[in-house]
Structure 1
Amino acid sequence: MEFAELIKTPRADNVVLHRPFEPAVEGTLCLTGHHLIFSSRRQDNAEELWLLHSNIDSIEKRFVGSLGTIVIKCKDLRIIQLDIPGMEECLNIASSIEALSTLDSVTLMYPFFYRPMFEIVEDGWSAFLPEKEFEFLNALTDEWRLTYINKDFSICPSYPPVVTVPKSIDDETLQKVAVFRHGGRFPVLSYYHKKNGMVMMRTSQPLTGTNGKRCKDDEKLINSTLGPGRRGYIIDTRSLSAAQQARAKGGGFEVEVYYPQWRRIHKSVERFNILQESLIKLVEACNDQSHNMDRWLSKLEASNWLTHVKEILTAGCLAAQCIDREDASVLVHGTEGTDSTLQITSLAQIILDPDCRTIRGFESLIVREWLQAGHPFQQRCAQSAYSNSKQKWEAPVFLLFLDCVWQMLHQFPCSFEFNEHFLVTLFEHAYASQFGTFLGNNENERSKLKLPQKTMSLWSWVNQPEELKNFKNPLFEANSLVIWPSVAPQSLQLWEGVFLRWNRPSKFLDEAQEEMRKIISDNRVLQEKLWDNSYFLSPFDWLPKEAVSYKLRSALCFCPIAG
């Protein structure tokens, strides 16, 4: 198929672009195979907008006389309006955008055509290979091994070719366990806690069914991770009733009599359509222009978004607490083990492991706990909050995880090397990107698509020194301790950087961030000058309150700034 076949009107002049808090701009609109491009060449009002068709969630058409209006709603939650003279031109452009934004074939998407204009310092596709990650583990313990049993994806289509399993368990046993677990997702190592040697594993539900079927090889594998007298916790991300209902469909949960050293805990975490509806309601609330505070708060509460944030953070804290404070290993699973399971294992690692709070450590976490672990990005992020077609597999699972990370960054502003901009960037690229990192639903699909050979990795761009500085937190001071986020209602806030960034002017926030960077930079220089006298200043110690503007104090405290 040629893209030209889908573009009925490639160019339109005298188009007016409208965006919130920005003046209207007149210019030329062009459609290419992958981008909507708006440009104004006027010297007094130069403007250029490049929008990926894959970032478009839905469009609406309106007509007043001969003037047509297209409202474009994007997956990154922004809304833009284009006024196009001529009804026929407007209809042609609208139908072209609809066709180009809903291409069926993954290989027709922009990452397969994108050619980087920057020098590639590091190949992101090979930056976080399992073998490299295993070297760090092997330096701490010799009780685990890499297995290539899934090298052809025949054992588990959603697992990577290589995973980490107990050394005492052979591949023949793993094959039998895979048959007993939903989708072949047998238990694999997710995290090793250096402090006490406890581990966290992830898997999918056991296929016990109504007859209470058991698998001695599964019991052997799971029990082998515990030493004599040790105990463990199985965290099931479904409610007890949901887990019991799953038995009627052939699924189920571990029967404790066969896993005597393990205690099962049900920590219900919502998924799929419930999360998608929650996001839709939240975005609707954020776009409410009534300026009625009671109505806004009522809509925000009705969306239940912050309730979901609390549920997942609580479950992540529970897993971390079992490992760090109870000296117990943890096994996490839901039904498939590709959504809520990964949210919990990832958050627990951020709480426990300071390396996961660095930029590179967080990238590694995303790769091994989301991409390699088989989170179906292609399905979950196919549409966002504005889509008219609601597919059952669409859900903001990854966005909800990033929101939880932002809550921790908000509560511990000095413990993370990366800033909010880094999290927002990951959200944007998960839904629409020029990079191939988030294409496909698992490593099997990415292998068939030959993404490492045909597309560029997001990490190749992010990890350039000139780009990396934009994602660094100027307040960062390495913290080797475990961090315990609060899940109290007053501690959880709406992530304005995502949900309100297109609905409020950013001028004051940008100014405050720049002022903060300058003061922190000046403070670093002052610290170096005073270092010889063994006198150290934290970023806040030397700032007299009366000398700091309201905007700066708000930025330092990560509070929203009134315009």
Structure 2
Amino acid sequence: MDRLCSSYPEILFIPTSMTNNIIYGSSKFRSKQRFPVLSYYHDSSKAAICRSSQPLAGLTKKCKEDILLLQAIAKSSHNSPQLVIVDTRPKINALANKAKGKGFEDTKNYPFCKFYFSGIENIHVMRESRQKLFQAIYSNHDSYISFMNAVDNSGWMKHIKAILDAAIFVSQTILCGTNVLVHCSDGWDRTSQTCALASLFLDPFYRTIHGFIILIEKDFLSFGHRFSTRCQHLAGDNKNVAPIFLQFLDCVWQVLRQFPASFQFNELFLIYISKNVYSCEYGTFLYNSVSERKKNKYFK
């Protein structure tokens, strides 16, 4: 897939009826060529979570191949002919991207789709929120109420709730037997968070130690979450640094605290993973994609 999308894994799953021309056409119509592919299939409901990046729709553009691909994904459901598209961004952000030649799917061109915005903020808002959270934690406070007000003013918990709400909506839609397409702007930050959490909610395998490792490999490492850039593993401009994976672990912790008996691991495992994201002791989280790890002769 390097020819088509260098940030995607080598093995992808798409509807069997799709031709190379349709796939290539759809990839050219999606940001970073990240066309819709399978992320998770729920065996009981026979519904699938797919993921992609935003379409390059602008104000008026449409793509026949992209429409055919999404239509095939919708028809692959055993229970519903409709496809639910979850744009994880706030609507105002998506509209701004639309004015720049990107944006989101117009249901006039995709009449078989139902659209939903989940309102998760971008990396710049998340970075600022983390800074305010750290300030709240490490500052001296006169009282517990003062501390909690500072935490609340950071907006961190509001962002965590938005991510959890998006994942809950996706998982509920899957349980109803309807296929879902999840995307944000480029499909490697909010999309990874949402797809991974929804998979965690739907499948107890991902709540085991081994399964959780596979979940991270599936929705973050293989699908090109930019660990090197977001975690600033190399010195340089910090404008693209963001706590995306840390937020994912926080979301998992929130669920773990409520349903500890549903998990094979506890918070110590999450802390261990978090430390290794930044220490890179094992190299698992080096670079921004599978292709970069192979190019630099490190493939885990």
Which TM-score applies when normalising by structure 1?
Answer: 0.51
**Match for residue 273 of structure 2 among 426, 429, 434:** 426
1:321 maps onto 2:168 in alignment: no
Q: Work out which of the residue numbers 211, 227, 230 in structure 2 matches 1:361.
A: 211
SS at 2:182's partner residue?
strand
Q: Which structure would you say has the larger RCO, counting Cα contacts within 8 Å and 6 or more residues apart? A: 2
SS at match of 2:14: strand
Correspondence for 1:437: 284
Matched, 1:215 2:66: no
User: Corresponding residue for 2:109?
Assistant: 258
C-alpha offsets along residues 282-339 of structure 1, whole Å, 9 cap, x if unaligned? 1111112345223212211111111111000000000011111x32110000110010
Deviation at 1:390, TM superposition (A): 6.7
Gaps (5+ residues) in structure 1?
A: 1-149, 458-563
SS at structure 2 position matched to 1:404: helix
Which residue of the partner structure matches residue 158 of structure 2?
Answer: 307
Work out the CA distance in 2 between the residues paired with 1:290 and 1:204.
43
Per the TM alignment, residue 250 of structure 1 is displaced from its structure 2 partner at its CA by 1.3
In structure 1, the residue matched to 2:229 is: 379
Q: Counterpart of 2:262 in 1: which secondary structure?
A: coil
Q: Which runs of 5+ in 2 are unaligned?
A: none
Alignment of 1:47-126 (within 5 A): none
Aligned to 1:165: 14
| Residues 78-477 of structure 1 mapped to structure 2, 5 A cutoff | 150=1, 153-210=2-59, 212-227=60-75, 230-324=81-175, 326-382=176-232, 391-452=238-299, 457=300
Identity score, percent: 39
Letter in 2 for 1:449: N
What is the distance in 2 between the residues matched to 1:175 and 1:185? 10
Q: What do you get for the CA RMSD once the two structures are aligned?
A: 1.7
- Deviation string, structure 1 residues 31-52 (Cα, Å, up to 9, x no partner): xxxxxxxxxxxxxxxxxxxxxx
- The amino acid of 1:225's aligned partner reads I
TM-score (norm 2): 0.95
How far 1:410 sits from its partner (Å)?
0.5
Aligned mates of 2:132, 2:74 — CA distance in 1: 44
Question: Could you tell me how far apart the structure 2 residues matched to 1:444 and 1:205 are?
Answer: 21
Check whether the contact 2:188–2:225 (CA below 8 A) recurs between aligned residues: yes
The one-letter amino acid paired with 2:211 is: G
Match of 1:83 in 2: none
1:524-544 alpha-carbon deviations (Å, 9 max, x no partner): xxxxxxxxxxxxxxxxxxxxx
Following superposition, the deviation at residue 361 of structure 1 comes to 0.9
- The one-letter amino acid of 1:441's match is N
Distance in 1 between residues matched to 2:286 and 2:226, nearest whole Å: 9
Structure with a larger share of its residues in strand: 1
2:227 and 2:178 map into 1 onto residues whose CA distance is 32
Give the letter for the 1:436 counterpart.
Answer: G
Cα contact 1:205–1:335 (8 A) shared by 2:
yes
| Alpha-carbon distance, 1:244 to partner | 1.6
Cα pair 1:320 1:352 within 8 Å, conserved: yes
CA distance in 2, matches of 1:435, 1:273: 28
Q: 1 CA distance for matches of 2:270 and 2:185? A: 27
Query: Could you list the runs of 4 or more consecutive aligned residues of structure 1 that deviate by over 4 angstroms after TM superposition?
Result: none
What per-residue deviation string (whole Å, max 9, x for no partner) do you get for residues 361-410 of structure 1?
11111001000100000000017xxx9x8722100000000000011110
In 2, distance between residues paired with 1:306 and 1:276? 13
1:392-432 superposed Cα distances (whole Å, 9 cap, x missing partner):
21000000000000111100010001111111111111111
- Does the 8 A contact of 1:271 with 1:397 survive in 2? no
SS at match of 2:74: coil
